[in-house]
Each structure stands twice: as C-alpha cells, then as structure tokens.
Amino acid sequence: MSLIVQKYGGTSVGTIDRIEAVAEKVAGFHHRGDDVVVVVSAMSGETNRLIGLASEIHDEPSPREMDVLVSTGEQVTIALLSMALQKRGCDARSYTGGQVRILTDNSHAKARIQDIDAHRIQADLSAGSVVVVAGFQGADEQGNITTLGRGGSDTTAVALAAALKADECQIYTDVDGVYTTDPRMVSGARRLDQITFEEMLEMASQGSKVLQIRAVEFAGKYKVPLRVLSSFEDGPGTLITLEDDDEMEKPVVSGIAFNRDEAKLTIRGIPDVPGIASRILGAVGRANIEVDVIVQNVAQDNTASLTFTVHRNELAKAKGVLEAVAKDLGATTVEADAGIAKLALVGVGMRSHAGVAATMFEALANDNINIQMISTSEIKITVVIDERYLELAVRALHSAFDLEQCDKSE
C-alpha cells in the first residue's frame, strides 16, 4: 500500500467522458489499497473562457480579482471528479487550494507556495477517502485566493507529495513519458525509463513541455520521486530520480531538447571595456525582456560584439531598446534574426565523458550545419543554428549519440 499523489491536466479532464476515465483510473488505485490524492486542473478551455469574460470588462483586470475568477475553473473539476469517484464506490472529498490549506505569498497570478497543512488530507486518507485537490491555487495569510501561474498544477502536486511524504508523485499528461527527443520529429525517439532531476530541468528549460520547470525544481529540492505517464494509455512512463550512484553506467547523452521560440540579437562595434555587457543587458532587463543564451566576443579591432537570444515575440521591442543603447555606446550595428532555433544535448553522463562537444560539432559539420552560438553547462551543451536545419540537426545528433538504441541499462 502506497501513498500516491496524481495530477491530471486540463486535457485529461477536458470533457465529462474524460473525467469519468480519470475516475476509473483513480478508483483502480484506490481499490488496490493505495492512498490517493488527486490534483486536477480546470477543464481545458475553461480558464480561457473566464479570462475572456474578464477581458470584456477590463483591459488590465486586478490580479486579485483575476485569481478569484480563474480559480473557479479547478473548483468545478474537483467537484465533478469527486462525484465520478463516488459513483464508483470511492468515498471522495474535494478541497480548493485555500481549504487545504495551501499557504502562498500574496503575489497574485504567480504566487509561491510557502506551506501546506497536510492534517486535513491525512485525516481523510486515514478514513479511506480519495482526496481531490484543486491545482494551481492557494490562499495567502489573509485568506485571499491566489494562483500559482501557468503550469501551477504540477507544482501543487509535487508540493502536496512533499508535505504528505508520498511514495510517488505521478504527473499524467497526453504523452506517455519523457523521450530522447520529440517523437514527432525523430521517428526513432525513445521513451526514457528514468531521467535525473537535473537532466529533466535542462530538458524542460530547453523546450520539452512535458513538465513545468518549477515543479521539477520543487521535486528535486524535496526529493519527491516524480513519474510522468499517460492519462490515456497504460504504461510505466518515465521516472525522474535523484542522481544515482552508477553514473558510470549511464549513457553520455540522455536527450535532445530544442525550441523555435527564440530570436537572436547582435550588437557590434562596442568598445571592449568593463561594464559594457551589463549596460546593454541592464537596459533590456529594465524593458522586462528576458534574455536566454548570451555570447560575447572580442573582434580583431578590439571592439566587442554581444549576441543574445530573447523570446521571438519580444524581438521588435528588444531591437528598439538595443538601437537606443547602441547610440549611447557608439556601437556600430544592431542585427536581429528571427530565423533561428536552439538545440541542446542533455545528459548527466557528460560530466564523466570527454569529447561530447567534439562529437556534437562534428555531427553537425558533417551535415554542413553552421553553429551560430554555443553555450555550455556541466550537463548540457546548447547551440543556436539556422531554423531551417533544425530537423536535420536533431536527427543527426539523435543518431550520432545512439539514442534510438534500447534502454539505459545497456
């Protein structure tokens, strides 16, 4: 008998039929004797419907009132799922975030969980109930309703699992696990049985949308065993684990993440003196534009160039900021390029294997793919390339690192 926290997202509870299917799955665990806490999102489409109502009234609705409004979405789902569980003979009780209570700070729309009172849930579990909790929401010290921001339901599930010391936190999604890379792009992409938290973090931050980064960080911090699996079909999914000892046995590379959401900006001909980078990036930051990969180089004429990527939606805004800064600094040119893609090799095994970068660059060179930017960390190598070559590059690397070969234990 285990204590399991399960999370089902908006697509998994998007219709009455799907809520019934989730109830069927949960009831199976409960009838086998597991203690189950279920975290659910709003039915898909519902949050957008509510945001639409607000936008008819106010261009910039108050964050406090937005939280009151959108938190009703999950509240509808918890009630419906509890009814569907009761129909299957499971005693079930639903709770909003505020009722649990999940205490957060008062940053509406992007609140952070500070504490969870697990007593009420534990009492219900002891009494044989399935407990159904609204994801994505909590309440601050004063009892004001807060929401955790996008993807917050994953975080709710992980935080509850930590507070309850659950045996496993299961995130049910529309994919059956974490893959070596996107299976829609590489037919030989392989589901990983296991991946470490660090690798998962790097994969998530590089565009793998299976799990929210905050939830993975939280799970890593509190050592909650996390499993990603499919709402729609049975299977073991992917277990996200603490780094284990047999690191030597691990393959060098676990997966390849990529995204096309970014654009590249370059400012050239800037005087190569200390503080220049911070003046440029400071101006960008003050405009509320987030910067991702940054590379700086010194040219032969002792001027420097700085290149960085931003979200593609913010390219025009960033270019405006940069042109103003260029004038101030006496820089020569500002270039903007939306046609790029970012690609990253991720793997804990890199730490103990030399030559990964060389193999990567060689594989890309063999296909005549030019590397525009390189950025490395201990378990990740990121490159920026021309967007047109993305599919080719992913397939080349997937093959170069033998990722389609059977599973990790080999």
Residues binding its own copies (CB under 8 A): 16, 19-20, 50, 53-54, 56-58, 61-62, 64-66, 68-69, 71-72, 75-76, 78-80, 82-84, 86-87, 92-94, 96, 98-99, 143-145
Tokens (6 digits) for 17: 């039929």
Q: State the nearest-atom distance from the C-beta of 111 to its own copies, in Å.
A: 16
Partners of residue 296 on adjacent β-strands? 306
Q: State the nearest-atom distance from the C-beta of 45 to its own copies, in Å.
A: 13
Please identify, using beta-carbon distances, which residue of 116 and 340 lies nearer to its own copies: 116
Tokens (6 digits) for 210: 């299976």
Please identify, using beta-carbon distances, which residue of 87 and 209 lies nearer to its own copies: 87
Peptide bond into 101 cis (omega under 30): yes
Cβ neighbors of 81 (< 8 A, separation 6 or more) are: 13, 19, 22, 23, 26, 38, 40, 92, 94, 132
Please identify, using beta-carbon distances, which residue of 57 and 358 lies nearer to its own copies: 57
174, 11 contact by CB (below 8 A) = yes
Partners of residue 343 on adjacent β-strands? 258, 383
Q: State the nearest-atom distance from the C-beta of 98 to its own copies, in Å.
A: 8
Long-range contacts (CB closer than 8 Å, 24 or more residues apart) made by 45-49: 45/10, 45/14, 46/10, 46/73, 46/76, 47/10, 47/73
Please identify, using beta-carbon distances, which residue of 117 and 335 lies nearer to its own copies: 117
Q: State the nearest-atom distance from the C-beta of 87 to its own copies, in Å.
A: 5
Q: State the nearest-atom distance from the C-beta of 214 to its own copies, in Å.
A: 25
Distance (Å, whole) CA 193 – CA 201: 16
Distance (Å, whole) CA 130 – CA 24: 13
Please identify, using beta-carbon distances, which residue of 84 and 189 lies nearer to its own copies: 84
Please identify, using beta-carbon distances, which residue of 142 and 368 lies nearer to its own copies: 142
CB atoms within 10 A of CB 361: 15
Q: State the nearest-atom distance from the C-beta of 215 to its own copies, in Å.
A: 25
Which residue in this structure is represented by tokens 């009132």? 65
